[in-house]
Amino acid sequence: TVLAITAFSLNAKACEARAPQTMHCVLSPPMSGPLSTRQVTEGIGPLAPADLKGARWHWFDTYSEVPWEAWEAFPGGSAYLDRRYLKAMSGHGKVQCRLGMIKANNGSWLGGILMQAVQSESRSPADHMDVSIGVRIATAIMHPGGRPFRFRTLVAGQGLGSGEHTFLWREDIPPAQQVQWVEQAFDQCAKHWGIRIWMAKDFGPELDAALAPHWGRRWARATFDPVMEVPLDPTWTSADQWQAALRTKARTKVRSILTRSADLDVERIHETAELERLGPQLIALYDQVYGRASIVMGGLEARDFARLAEELGPDFTVMTYRQEGRLVGFQCGMHHRGSGTIEAYYVGFESEINKERALYQRMLFEFIAWGISLGAVRVVMGRTALEIKSTLGAFPIALSTFVHINFPLAMPFLRWMIRKAPPHPFKPRRAWLAEWCERWQEAGYRIN
C-alpha cells in the first residue's frame, strides 16, 4: 500500500530541493567507495558513441556466474564490493544480492552495479525524530498500535552499510551515462523482484555533485545523517601516535575510556568454528542495540560472522568483551586494502555494561587501533552516535540518497515528508590539535 512511502522519507534528514555544490577531492578522498582508489584499467581502447548507446545489462544471481576478472578490473572498489564479501553474503536470508555488468556492442565491459532486495522494517521513526505534527500523524496511521511495518526495498548499493558501495565504472564513462544506466538497472530489477520502493545510495559530496543534475524527475533526493570517518596517518605504527595528535581534552577522554573498560576481557576471534558456535549469542547482543532503531534495513544473521571470517580471513575481525566470563559485547569490522579503509561493520552490547564501562567508546578506539596496525588511511564508523565519534576525531561526511516509489500520488507525498523531517542539529567536537586540523582540512575534510 501507499503507507510504505513514509518508511524512508521519515528517516530523511534534509530537503531534496537543491542540488549539491561541487566540493574538492578529499584525502584519497574520504569514503570507502569507488572514488577512494584510482586504479587504471589497462588494455581498454576508447569507446565510440554507438558502443555506449547499444550497451546492455547482464545480470548474475549467483556468485559463480559473475565474470570476476572483469569486475575486479574496474577502477575503485570497497569492502562491500569485494568479491569475498559478496560471496560470504550470497546466502543471506534478509538481503538478496544481484550483480549487474553492462557490456558495450564491441564486447567491452563498461561497469558493474550491486542491486539488493532488502527486507526492511519501520518502527515508529517519528518517536526518534524532531518532526512536525503532520509527520507524527502520518506515522501513527502507518504504525497502528505501534506495530512495526515491514516492506521490501530495491537498493542500488549496500543495505547493510553506509557509503559509496553502489557501482564501478570505466574511467571514461560520463556521469550522465552512469545515471541513465543506473535507472535502467532499477527498471529491470524492479520487474525481476516486483518491488516498488527504490533507493540509490549513498553518494558523497563529490559524486553527488556530479550525478545529481542527471537524475530523472521521478526521483526525490534526500540527505540522511552523515557517515562519521576518522582519518589516519598511514605512517603511524601505534595508537599512541594517534593520541599524540589529539587535543588534551580528547586524550583525557581516551584515557578515561581505557580505564573504565580495563577489567573487561577482550579477545579477537578468527576461528570459523568458534564464530559458528558464538553466532546466536552475538546476534542476541546485536539485537539489544539495533532492536531500538527506527528503521532497519536487512540485518545480521547468526552465520554471517563465520562466513565473513572464512572468506575475508585477516581482513575481517571479531572482538568479544567478557565480564567475569560472561559475554557482554562484541564488535566486527572489515579491512579493504585497496582503499586503505577500515569499515566498522556492526557492534552489540548490554546497555548497562555499556553505561558502566564506556564499552561502545572502547570499541571505537579498537577500530582505530586496528586501522593503525594495518596502515589504513581511514576508519568509517557509520551514521550513529555522531557526537561520541567526533570526540575521537571523526569528521562527518554528507551522503545523499535518491528515492522513488512506484505508487500513484506517492512522490508528492514523499517530497512533503522529506521537507517536514528536518535534520537534527549536530556540531562535531574538535578533537585534533591545530596542526592536524589544518592537515585534514587540506586533505578535504570539513573542519568547523
Q: Is the preceding omega at residue 187 within 30 degrees of 0, hence cis?
A: no
- CA distance linking residue 318 with residue 204, whole number of Å: 28
Residue 362 neighbours by CB under 8 Å, 6+ apart: 257, 258, 260, 261, 264, 321
pLDDT for 270 equals 93
Q: What is the dihedral of CA 145, 148, 151, 154, to 10 degrees?
A: 130
pLDDT at 133: 54
Buried b (16+ CB within 10 A) or exposed e, 283-306: bebbeebbeebbbbbbbbbbbbbb
d(CA 335, CA 339): 9
- Residue 298 pLDDT: 83
Residue 101 and residue 112 in contact, taking contact as beta carbons nearer than 8 Å: yes
pLDDT of the residue at 169:
98
Which residue do the cell numbers 584510482 mark?
38
| pLDDT at 50 (0 to 100) | 81
Instruction: Tally DSSP H helices, then E strands, for the chain.
Output: 16, 16
> Whats the size of the chain, residue-wise?
448
Q: What angle do CA 382, 262, 275 make, to 5 degrees?
A: 55
Report residues of the chain scoring pLDDT below 50. 1-28, 32-43, 125-129, 131, 143
207 neighbors 425 (Cβ within 8 angstroms):
no
pLDDT value of residue 422: 65
Alpha carbon of 5 to those of 132, 219, 390: distances in Å? 17, 13, 33
Cell of 389: 565519534
Distance CA 140, CA 367 (A): 39
Q: What is this structure's pTM?
A: 0.86
CB 238 within 8 A of CB 28: no
How do the residues of the chain divide into helix, strand and coil, expressed in percent and rounded to 5? 40, 25, 40
Q: 3-state secondary structure string, 367-408?
A: HHHHHHHCCCCEEECCCCCHHHHHCCCCEEECCEEEEEECCC
The residues near 138 (Cβ < 8 Å, ≥ 6 apart) are 6, 10, 417
The CB-side HSE value for 134 (13 A sphere, CA atoms) comes to 8
Give me the sign of the Cα torsion angle 379, 168, 383, 295.
negative
* Closest to 421 (Cα-Cα) out of 118, 46, 130, 139: 130
Other C-beta atoms closer than 10 Å to the C-beta of 311 total 19
Spatial CA neighbour of 432 closest among 423, 442, 421: 442
Please list, in sequence order, all residues whose beta carbon lies within 8 angstroms of the beta carbon of residue 149, skipping any fewer than 6 positions away: 3, 4, 7, 121, 122, 123, 142, 143
> Domain spanning 230-396+429-443: which superfamily?
Gcn5-related N-acetyltransferase (GNAT) (3.40.630.30)
Closest CA to 231 of 407, 371, 374: 371
Distance CA 345, CA 367 (A): 10
Closest CA to 318 of 380, 273, 378: 273
* CA distance linking residue 160 with residue 95, whole number of Å: 8
CA pair distance 158, 76, nearest whole angstrom: 16
The one-letter code for the residue type at 422 is P
Residue ranges of domains in the chain: 2-224+398-419, 230-396+429-443
Asked whether the beta carbons of 417 and 51 are under 8 A apart, the reply is: no
Asked if 21 and 61 count as a contact pair (C-beta separation under 8 A), the reply is no
Q: The sheet that has 378-380: what strands, in order across it?
A: 265-269, 316-323, 326-336, 341-349, 378-380, 227-231, 395-397
